[in-house]
A and B are shown apart, each in its own frame.
Chain A
Amino acid sequence: MAYKDFRDFLDTLKKEGQILTIEDEVMPEPDLGSAGRAINNVSDKSPALLFTNIHGYNNAKVAMNVIGSWPNHALMMGLPKNTPVKEQFFEFARRWDNYPVPVERMDSAPFQEVVVNEDVNLFDILPLFRLNQYDGGFYIDKACVISRDPSDPDNFGKQNVGIYRIQVKGKDSLGIQPVPQHDIAIHFRLAEERGENLPVALAIGCEPVITTMAGAPIGYDQSEYEMAGAIQGEPYKVFTLPGTNLDVPWGAEVILEGEILAGVREFEGPFGEFTGHYSGGRRMPEIRIKRVYHRKNPIFEHLYIGMPWTETDYMVGVNTCVPIYQQLKEAFPNEIVAVNAMYTHGLVAIVSTKKRYGGFAKAVGMRTLTTPHGLGYCKLVIVVDETVDPFNLPQVMWALSTKMHPAHDVIILPDMSVMPLDPGANPPGITHKMILDATTPVAPETRGHYSQPLDSPVATEKWEKIFQDLLKN
């Protein structure tokens, strides 16, 4: 099943009791950012937020925390809202294998209702606000940014849909953070080498599957739209923006059309990041917006980001675990069981694996570091047995406390690559990395006394079912 657009998903959240509409007047600052932070503090089953009465605005609506909980993430995939995280992971991985699903091309789009061709003032069009108190300005932080590879512009797979932090710096100008590991940085470098600006479109207020894929580390020539089709189980609807070769999500609330300016870097930030620290100020590329499309009374979707857990962590949790899992399975198809890389976008990853021989689990840890995502994250990789559920942290702690021997099972690799926002990196972009082997030693490693593992009493499963049935009512 697929959601037609952002509003269709909000309707589902309403039916499922997973959205809170706040009709009382709120201040843009500090209420919106504070509420976005608070809703993740109170529960991991929290609802989305829809603000309909913002001081100083007439008809503005701001939606936050749209997939900021496991129930909302399950609903994004069309699953029952109480689906356990591990089941969401395996279902996501199963659908991933259906890639690619060709897109459905549409002749017109709802966002063509209103077109602004001149005198663009983003402060008038969008209810912008400051999220964290020392952010350098007002940000757009959940837009799908679409660009094409200038060296291969007809290659649909190389067209990129990604989410990047974007500071509104003037009426029609934006700052963007394309760190070198991002696909859009490749597009921009190729354009800059030609002395050309890079055309881009920003889609705000999309249904949640494309947003999820835009935040996933898929291959450079893999299409986020064709992967979104695989995840939602039917072709993804796109619309080619008139006068461009950019395909945008058909159901978007707002589209900003512009260019990243070649050779220009301007001061940007700081911005409170997913590491729980501000980024500092840096000189980064500028986007000039020349046209805006939007629905009448568009809903502005925003995302709180800061110290985990926030909506960001739910959004880039499963969609980061699955590609690492798929890449590890390419190397070790009969051993890898599951991957949990949900901690600070995978700076910590937990891999559950069978062992072929002594030392094998350490090799799995090494391979995790060399996956595309591992190159910039995976500072700590914990490897556990196939019987340990990597999504069950008490089980992982048990494995660490009983299976790991510090003299044999701690591997530290000096001066590896990491994304520059890691506040512990020194210099930025470089860190030591660590593998903790918390698996049971197997031959020829025979150390320890692991020959008598404790199993559950024989009727435990029967009793689990009995209790599950009794507790349902």
Chain B
Amino acid sequence: MTTCPRCDSTEAQMVAESPVKGAWTVYSCPVCFYTWRSTEDEKFTDPAKYEPAFKVRQEDIPNATVVPAIAQRIK
């Protein structure tokens, strides 16, 4: 588990390691689905340095616009 640079959840997990050993690791956040690689600039990997305008507040996620609307079930 690691901290998501975008929504600050602490549930992000490693999803891949580089085929060439030790080159990089990819992490993904199951809360806001942000995905990043360890070799990216720290402004994309460090929660304190992620661009504030693009930060995601966890409490806003359930209220995000739904596209397309969920279709009503027709029996």
A282 x B71 contact (CB < 8 A): no
A420 x B33 contact (CB < 8 A): no
> Shortest distance in angstroms between A55's beta carbon and chain B's nearest beta carbon?
6
Question: Which of the residues B23, B32, B67, B73 comes within 8 Å of A55, measured between beta carbons?
Answer: B23
B20 x A57 contact (CB < 8 A): yes
> Shortest distance in angstroms between A176's beta carbon and chain B's nearest beta carbon?
10
A192 x B70 contact (CB < 8 A): yes
Asked whether any CB of chain A lies closer than 8 Å to the CB of B39, the reply is yes
Tell me, in angstroms, the Cα distance from A347 to B33 when the chains sit together: 31
Residues of A contacting B44 with CB < 8 Å? Answer: 29, 130, 133
Tell me, in angstroms, the Cα distance from A30 to B36 when the chains sit together: 12
A281 x B56 contact (CB < 8 A): yes
A29 x B37 contact (CB < 8 A): yes
Residues of B contacting A263 with CB < 8 Å? Answer: 70
A283 x B74 contact (CB < 8 A): no
Tell me, in angstroms, the Cα distance from A280 to B67 when the chains sit together: 12
B68 x A178 contact (CB < 8 A): yes
Tell me, in angstroms, the Cα distance from A19 to B24 when the chains sit together: 29
Residues of B contacting A133 with CB < 8 Å? Answer: 44
Binds B, one of A134-142, A336-344, A351-359: A134-142
Q: Mark A105-141, 1 if CB is under 8 A from B, else 0.
A: 0000000000000000101100011100110111000
A57 x B18 contact (CB < 8 A): yes
B64 x A282 contact (CB < 8 A): yes
| Count of interface residues, chain A, beta-carbon cutoff 8 Å | 52
Tell me, in angstroms, the Cα distance from A96 to B12 when the chains sit together: 49
Closest to A428 in B: B65
Size range of the interface on B? 35 or more
> Shortest distance in angstroms between A150's beta carbon and chain B's nearest beta carbon?
11
Asked whether any CB of chain B lies closer than 8 Å to the CB of A171, the reply is yes
Tell me, in angstroms, the Cα distance from A268 to B68 when the chains sit together: 12
B24 x A137 contact (CB < 8 A): no
Asked whether any CB of chain A lies closer than 8 Å to the CB of B35, the reply is yes
Q: Would you call the interface of chain A mostly helix, strand, loop, or mixed? A: loop
Binds B, one of A42-50, A162-170, A212-220: A162-170
Closest to B32 in A: A267
> Shortest distance in angstroms between B71's beta carbon and chain A's nearest beta carbon?
4
Q: Mark B32-52, 1 if CB is under 8 A from A, else 0.
A: 111111011100100000010
A195 x B67 contact (CB < 8 A): no
Closest to B72 in A: A193
Asked whether any CB of chain B lies closer than 8 Å to the CB of A101, the reply is no
Asked whether any CB of chain B lies closer than 8 Å to the CB of A185, the reply is yes
Asked whether any CB of chain B lies closer than 8 Å to the CB of A175, the reply is yes
Closest to B28 in A: A170
Closest to A270 in B: B54
A185 x B68 contact (CB < 8 A): yes
Q: Residues of A at under 8 Å CB distance from B?
A: 27-30, 55-58, 60, 121, 123-124, 128-130, 133-134, 136-138, 167-171, 175, 177-180, 185, 188-189, 192-195, 263, 265-268, 270, 278, 280-285, 420, 428
The 3 A-B residue pairs whose C-beta atoms are closest, nearest first, are A56-B23, A56-B18, A123-B16
Knowing that A57-B20, A170-B15, A170-B33 touch, tell me 10 more A-B residue pairs with CB under 8 angstroms.
A28-B37, A28-B39, A29-B44, A130-B44, A136-B35, A188-B71, A189-B68, A268-B33, A282-B66, A283-B64
